[in-house]
Structures are given as structure tokens and as C-alpha cells.
Homo-oligomer: A and B are copies of this chain.
């Protein structure tokens, strides 16, 4: 059997690293080319994954085309993006243009090179925008109402993907991915930020602490990143061409509840100090997705929220941070 070839954009990021870890665990020989604007902080040795890395500016079409032409991937997992919603509010034009242009560069390269690559394009629950509680959980058929420049680019990506499928015969599957959690996520996101602060109290043997947080009343649908990457591999292989899939758990949890659970696991009592800078202009109060479409392909989340939170805390406890 010839080893399958995976191209991963944004390979150095949180999800990219877990995806490569997933392939390694599968135990089948695969060839992976990771693309990113920066190297992953820790490079690992693999037994089953033949991994190579290339630093590429994905906005440079000539380079993207040369890279794809040289590697000729069976699968393309497109994770790279300017993923910060607040950055998209500060620099709407830059955020929108970059995210749509790297996406179009990849699709154009596949089209012009006449590759038969199966592409997975990662979108966001943000695309749905603010919805009435009556419409929850969100199904893929629900109208999109993107509330940030970041989300607009994700919706544009979906529209353009359909054009490339219908007009040019490309093979593209799309996700709307809900909140991720798991070890390795950067400290700017809510849960790792809680973990970092709680672990720092613990390391200093304090049973009380003042924890800085944003809007704790938000309700989010969290999936462990290890379940997410399993969904992505499944969608790359078995997702229906041109279709969009929610990647979510189907359960909503208030951030407040998550913080309490984490504090409990650490045996630390916290008082919360709200930082107004962590509150977004048009934040969506409740987001819960319906995972039925993805489940029909045989996927289900396997890692409980408590297990995820324990692992997040453990990874911060063992880090130097």
C-alpha cells in the first residue's frame, strides 16, 4: 500500500499538531508535509509519519502552486488562518483579505494543477452569529449571519468552495467547527488562560486567587481537540463533496461552569475580576451545535469535558509557563 500524502496548512498550530499526533497514533505509514509561517515550538520524532516541514507564505500564489505541484497531496487539511476575532475587528481588511486569499491560492493551485486532492476547509461556529435560543442546537441548514470580519471570511470561503466544487469539479468538504479545548492551546483563549492562572496559584501553594476573565456567561459547545482531529480525518476520507458539517458535541456549557470545575480540580478558590478588554463588541451569548450530520458518518466525541479539563491542567502543570 502506498503511503497517503497529507498536506496540512497551519501545521504548527494547536489543531495541526494534534492532527499529526493522531496520524502517528493510527499507525499507518503516511507522508505529511506541514506548511506554516512559523515552526512548531516542539518538533517531535515519528515512527509512522514521514513528516517534513516547509515555511511558506501562503499568500504567495507562485510558491503555493509550486509546493502543491511538487507534493501532489491526496488530502489537504486547510487549518491556516488569521484566527483571532479581535484582530479581525482591529484590522478587518487585512484579516478578511488574508484569509480569503490564502484559501483561494490553495484552491486555484489544485485547479490549475488538475490535482484530485480531497480538501477539508475548516470553518467556524461564528458563521451562524447570534441566534435565538429557540433555534438551538444549530443545524447546518440554519441561515448564516456572520457577526465579525473573521466570520465573514469564513462564510465567503464556503460560498467560494461551492463554486470550485460545482464549477470546477474540486473535491471539497467543509466544517463549521465549534469551540475546541485540549492540551497545547495557547493561553489567549479562555480555558487555557484559566488553567495558566489556576496552576500559578497552585505552584505558589495558594488556596485562593483572583482570576482575570472575560464574559463568563457565554455558553459554548466544547469538543476536545483529539475528537476534532479524528472528525477531520474522517471528513477528509468520507465527507460528502461540497457539504458542510458541524464539528461539535451538541452540549452547551457556560464558561462560568467550566471555571468552577477547573478550580475544583485544582482545589483552589477563585474570585473573578472581569477584564473589559476580553469582552468582544458583538459577542454571541449561546452557541450550541447539532452534530447529527457528522455522527451519521460514524463519529462521536469520546473524551469527556472533565477528562479534557484534567489534561489541560496537567499540561500547564508540567510546562514552564
**Chain A residues near B (Cβ < 8 Å):** 61, 89, 92-93, 96-97, 100-101, 104-105, 107-108, 143, 146-149, 152, 155-156, 159-160, 163-164, 166-167, 281-282
Shortest C-beta distance, A320 to chain B (Å), equals 38
User: Bound complex: CA of A167 vs CA of B92, how far in Å?
Assistant: 11
Q: State how many angstroms separate the Cβ of A183 from the closest Cβ of chain B.
A: 34
B281 touches A167 (CB 8 A): yes
A101 cross-chain contacts in B, Cβ below 8 A? 93, 97
**Is B104 touching A97 in the complex (CB atoms < 8 A)?**
yes
- Residues of B near A152 (CB, < 8 A) are 156, 159-160, 163
A143 and B146 contacting across the interface, CB-CB below 8 Å: no
| A149 in contact with B156 given A97-B100, A104-B93 (CB within 8 Å) | no
Interface residue SS majority, chain A: helix
Does A163 lie within 8 Å of B149, measured CB to CB? yes
Show 9 A/B contacts (Cβ-Cβ < 8 Å), sorted by A. Answer: A92-B163, A93-B101, A93-B104, A93-B107, A97-B100, A148-B167, A149-B163, A155-B159, A167-B281
Q: Note all chain B residues with C-beta closer than 8 A to A143.
A: 143
Q: Closest B-chain residue to A280, C-beta based? A: B167
The CA-CA distance from A97 to B147 in the complex, in Å, is 21
B282 adjacent to A167 (CB under 8 Å): yes
From residue A101, how far is it (CB to closest CB) to chain B in Å? 6
**Please, which residues of chain B bring their CB within 8 A of the CB of A96?**
100, 104, 160
Q: Which residues of chain B come closer than 8 Å to A160, judged between CB atoms? A: 92, 96, 149, 152
> CA A146 – CA B156 in complex, angstroms?
10
Chain B hits for A281, CB < 8 A: 167
CA separation between A107 and B97, bound complex, in Å?
14
Closest-CB distance, A120 to chain B (whole angstroms): 20
List the B side residues contacting A100 at CB < 8 Å. Answer: 96-97, 100, 156
Q: How far is the CA of A167 from the CA of B283 in the complex (A)?
A: 11
Q: Are B159 and A146 in contact (CB under 8 A)?
A: yes
Closest to A161 in B: B152
